[in-house]
Amino acid sequence: MKSLVLCLVVVVVFGSCLKLPSSFKKCDRRSTNFNQCLSKSIHGALTSLEKPLKSHGLPSLHDVLFPPAFGFEIGNSTYGLKQKCGNLRLFGLSNPENVAARMNFGPVVSTLTVETTYSELKWTAEWEVQGTMVLLPLNVVTAVEAILVEPVLTIIFDLEEYEKGGTHFRVAGTGIDLQARDFVIDYKRLFSNERLNREFNSALVEKSSEIFAMFKHLEKIYAPAFGSMLNGFLEKVPVAELFDG
């Protein structure tokens, strides 16, 4: 009875005391197969997030909409093309083929590394272009779709502990590495001439590896978004509910 009263007090004061959802597997950090258990647990968590789990601060990972702050601009219209990318969405994070996770517990900062493989991930965005492409004036806003074929997404979370009605983790830093076997871009209406638009997209496919490398530095822009998603969960679920031991 006392523990129930204590839990109710914590809920009122801190909004915490939540247990793991039934689709999440709790692992024992003392076990020799802890990382294998953690990998299975995270795989189950990802697949269960086809829809959001609002009670635990987790959004849907089927369709992730990034806030406006995560758009970007490149180039300028005076000497070439000014390109502005916004309304970014990432589809497919809830459909992993495999997850390999490991957790290194430290006295101050612990590190969670999650390597996830997919058959494909899809980005969509709104692409605004102003300027001149080889003497051809452009002033257009078009939808663009990018397919990552057989991508491997590795996210590293640095976690620090703090007290809030119990011990919790929070994300102190996030790093991302994204690799893919292929990268296909499709601008839906960059040019009014359909044939020109089709041929342009075809030329992009031929240079997909170079284009992918050009945009790889943008990974650091999106890293905080993944950290924020995890934080929404960690602030609601104490460490004692995440792991045994």
Long-range CB pairs of 61-64, under 8 A, 24+ apart, other chains included: 61/93, 61/94, 62/91, 62/92, 62/93, 62/94, 62/95, 63/89, 63/90, 63/91, 64/89, 64/90, 64/91, 64/93
pLDDT computed for residue 73 by the predictor: 81
Helices and strands (H and E) in the chain: how many: 6, 12
Rounded CA-CA distance 97/58 in Å is: 21
Domains in the chain: boundaries:
20-244
Rounded CA-CA distance 6/14 in Å is: 12
pLDDT computed for residue 79 by the predictor: 64
Residuewise pLDDT in 10s, the chain (245 residues): 433 333 333 333 334 456 777 778 899 999 999 999 999 999 999 999 999 988 888 889 999 998 887 788 877 766 678 888 889 999 999 999 999 999 999 999 999 999 999 999 999 999 999 888 877 888 899 999 999 999 999 999 999 999 988 899 999 999 999 999 999 999 999 999 999 999 999 999 999 989 888 888 888 888 999 999 999 999 999 999 999 87
Closest CA to 88 of 129, 43, 123: 123
pLDDT computed for residue 14 by the predictor: 39
- The residues with which 139 forms a beta bridge, in sequence order, are 130
- For the domain bounded by 20-244, which CATH number is listed? 3.15.10.30
pLDDT computed for residue 165 by the predictor: 83
Rounded CA-CA distance 58/228 in Å is: 10
